[in-house]
């Protein structure tokens, strides 16, 4: 199956638009406006590499800049739903410099829109399309687009002449978040391939690692493998941290030398056809774990295994984080890095000295993907701590989560020196299925024996 060409999967995007239009119609109708991301200036006459808006792409499959989508719900009887694309006109001179443009005519035919127009006419036509619509739907998180607000205001001025302005604004983000949360077969096929490529990149970096190299050398191995296998880019800035840097959660690969006896933590994944992969592995720089490194690593691996076991349909999103907390806390007490009982150390949050983040997040078109973590239908308890005022939502087939417990042991007087500067995180991408789960990223070794064997090779 060719996953790289959206025009071969028009029906996928048409189904998504139809599903969103049906929800809008059920909520009283109206018009939705979704613009793609703008091109961003970098410096002088250079631009950042372009990346489309995820919500726009999810509904269109259209990856060019300078585009917008308008959806009109219709009334269910007299007027049919419409999906209208605005994009750049064909321009042979600009295509010589910037590359191919579909133009409105080809875009309408290839991507299955009701109509398509030049983006230069967007502001004018938007005012016409909004006239007599009861509601404007837009993505409100980044603020209302100025052209939408201007169009509504102008319509209000004209309302005395028989053109009615929309009377309400509604946020599209909750509807799109719920849709994007459940991945369809097309999305999962891409994410499996992204996971395979990213796993191969981690294997390459492990094999290349040796004392004397620098963090950026391993980052280069990752980037090479991503592009060699057809991924467009990293899904996020790759983390490659050695020694003390392995204990910095959002560290960027720098020029620190990889030293004998250090651990190396790599958190990296590619983006393939818009979809992210997200893998973390930790390994010894010289290919052999010390006793303390092995103890911490195997504790984190046990926590990850307990967490993955809790990723099942019908379980709550919070369950797998709680499984990692309990396993890690128990292990830290056994290693004498924490004192007291497991329940006491969890209740007092003592474990957060070494494990200060959640066990995972949604994954998809964005690394931290769209969708609510709370169950909006659950009772709201205003007396509870803020994080627990509403229950976490139930997992369902088609959701994709990362599972990434970790421990980060920094130098301290009450920590034995053998544990200093050991940062370990192990992360895989997990799909919730009807019968359990599927791990998309186990193409890279994860046990101590597997990692040491790979690095010997």
- CA neighbor of 134 nearest in space, from 169, 82, 84: 169
Catalytic hit among 15, 153, 368, 450: 368
User: What percent of the chain is modeled with pLDDT above 90?
Assistant: 85
Specify which residues 431 forms β-bridges with.
400, 438
**CA 91 – CA 114 distance, rounded (Å):** 23
DSSP state for residue 252 in the 8-state scheme: P
In the predicted model, what is the mean pLDDT of residues 128-153?
76
Catalytic hit among 17, 408, 429, 437: 408
Q: Are 397 and 359 in contact (CB under 8 A)?
A: no
Q: Say what the pLDDT of residue 378 is.
A: 77
Decide if 429 is catalytic: no
Catalytic hit among 404, 428, 429, 437: 404
Question: Residues, the chain, total?
Answer: 457
Inter-CA distances, 255 with 220, 258, 406, Å: 12, 9, 24
Decide if 41 is catalytic: no
Q: Are 316 and 395 in contact (CB under 8 A)?
A: yes
Q: Say what the pLDDT of residue 238 is.
A: 98
Q: Please give the residue that has the higher pLDDT: either 382 or 287.
A: 287
pLDDT category at 457 given cuts 50, 70, 90 is confident
**CA 82 – CA 144 distance, rounded (Å):** 22
In the predicted model, what is the mean pLDDT of residues 72-82?
84
Q: Say what the pLDDT of residue 101 is.
A: 97
Strand 275-276 with 270-272, pairing: antiparallel
Catalytic hit among 187, 219, 267, 429: 267
Q: pLDDT tens digit string along 406-432?
A: 999 999 999 999 999 999 999 999 999
Residue 386: pLDDT above 70? no
**CA 118 – CA 59 distance, rounded (Å):** 19
Q: Say what the pLDDT of residue 159 is.
A: 55
Catalytic hit among 187, 319, 427, 429: 427
- CA neighbor of 266 nearest in space, from 199, 363, 321: 199
Decide if 2 is catalytic: no
Q: What is the mean pLDDT of the chain?
A: 93
Decide if 404 is catalytic: yes
Q: Are 275 and 227 in contact (CB under 8 A)?
A: no
- Alpha-carbon 58 to chain mean position: 13
Catalytic hit among 357, 389, 410, 442: 357
pLDDT category at 74 given cuts 50, 70, 90 is confident
Q: Say what the pLDDT of residue 379 is.
A: 78
The token pair that represents 188 in the structure block: 């999962």
Q: pLDDT tens digit string along 151-172?
A: 666 656 555 555 566 778 899 9
Decide if 275 is catalytic: no
Ramachandran quadrant class, 443 (left: phi over 0; alpha: psi -120 to 50; beta: rest): alpha
Decide if 202 is catalytic: no
- CA neighbor of 214 nearest in space, from 245, 250, 235: 245
Decide if 408 is catalytic: yes
Specify which residues 427 forms β-bridges with.
280
Catalytic hit among 16, 88, 361, 393: 361
Q: Say what the pLDDT of residue 288 is.
A: 98
- CA neighbor of 303 nearest in space, from 242, 357, 261: 357
Catalytic hit among 78, 160, 250, 456: 250
Instruction: Output the pTM of the full model.
Output: 0.94
Ramachandran quadrant class, 360 (left: phi over 0; alpha: psi -120 to 50; beta: rest): left
Catalytic hit among 278, 330, 369, 429: 278
Sequential DSSP letters for 16-38: HHHHHHHHHHHTT--EEEEE-PP
The token pair that represents 388 in the structure block: 């627990």
DSSP state for residue 213 in the 8-state scheme: B
Q: pLDDT tens digit string along 99-112?
A: 999 999 999 999 99
Q: Which of 38-42, 134-138, 214-218, 379-383 has the lowest mean pLDDT?
A: 379-383
- CA neighbor of 370 nearest in space, from 361, 379, 381: 361
Q: Say what the pLDDT of residue 266 is.
A: 99
Q: Say what the pLDDT of residue 196 is.
A: 98
């Amino acid at each position: 199956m060719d996953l790289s060409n959206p025009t071969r999967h028009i029906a996928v995007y048409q189904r998504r638009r139809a599903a969103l239009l049906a929800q809008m119609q059920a909520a009283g109708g109206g018009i939705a406006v979704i613009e793609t991301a703008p091109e961003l200036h970098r410096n002088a006459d250079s631009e950042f590499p372009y990346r489309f808006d995820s919500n726009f792409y999810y509904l269109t499959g259209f990856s060019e800049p300078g585009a917008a989508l308008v959806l009109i719900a219709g009334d269910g009887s007299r007027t049919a739903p419409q999906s209208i694309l605005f994009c750049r006109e064909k321009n042979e001179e600009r295509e010589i410099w910037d590359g191919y443009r579909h133009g409105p005519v080809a875009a309408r035919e290839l991507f299955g829109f009701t109509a398509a127009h030049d983006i230069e006419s967007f502001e004018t036509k938007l005012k016409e399309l909004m006239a007599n619509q009861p509601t404007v739907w837009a993505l409100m998180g980044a603020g209302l687009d100025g052209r939408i607000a201007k169009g509504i205001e102008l319509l209000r001025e004209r309302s005395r002449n028989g053109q009615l302005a929309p009377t309400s604004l509604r946020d599209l983000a909750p509807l799109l978040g719920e849709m994007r949360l459940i991945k369809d077969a097309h999305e999962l096929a891409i994410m499996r391939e992204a996971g395979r490529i990213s796993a191969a990149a981690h294997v390459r970096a492990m094999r290349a690692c040796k004392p004397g190299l620098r963090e950026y050398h391993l980052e280069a191995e990752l980037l090479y493998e991503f592009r060699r296998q057809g991924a467009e880019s990293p899904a996020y800035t790759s983390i490659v941290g050695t020694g003390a840097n392995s204990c910095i959660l959002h560290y960027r690969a720098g020029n620190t030398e990889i030293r004998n006896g250090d651990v190396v933590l790599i958190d990296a994944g590619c983006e393939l056809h818009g979809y992210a992969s997200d893998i973390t592995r930790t390994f010894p720089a010289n290919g052999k774990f010390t006793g303390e490194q092995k103890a911490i690593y195997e504790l984190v691996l046990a926590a990850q295994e307990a967490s993955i076991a809790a990723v099942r349909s019908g379980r709550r999103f919070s369950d797998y984080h709680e499984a990692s907390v309990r396993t890690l806390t128990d292990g830290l007490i056994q290693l004498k890095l924490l004192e007291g009982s497991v329940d006491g150390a969890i209740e007092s949050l003592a474990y957060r000295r070494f494990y200060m983040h959640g066990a995972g997040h949604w994954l998809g078109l964005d690394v931290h993907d769209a969708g609510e973590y709370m169950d909006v239908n659950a009772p709201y308890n205003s007396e509870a701590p803020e994080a627990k005022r509403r229950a976490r939502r139930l997992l369902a087939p088609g959701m994709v989560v990362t599972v990434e417990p970790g421990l980060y042991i920094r130098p301290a007087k009450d920590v034995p020196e053998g544990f200093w500067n050991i940062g370990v995180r192990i992360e895989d991408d997990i799909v919730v299925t009807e019968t359990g789960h599927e791990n998309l990223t186990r193409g890279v070794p994860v046990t101590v024996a597997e990692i040491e064997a790979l690095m010997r090779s």
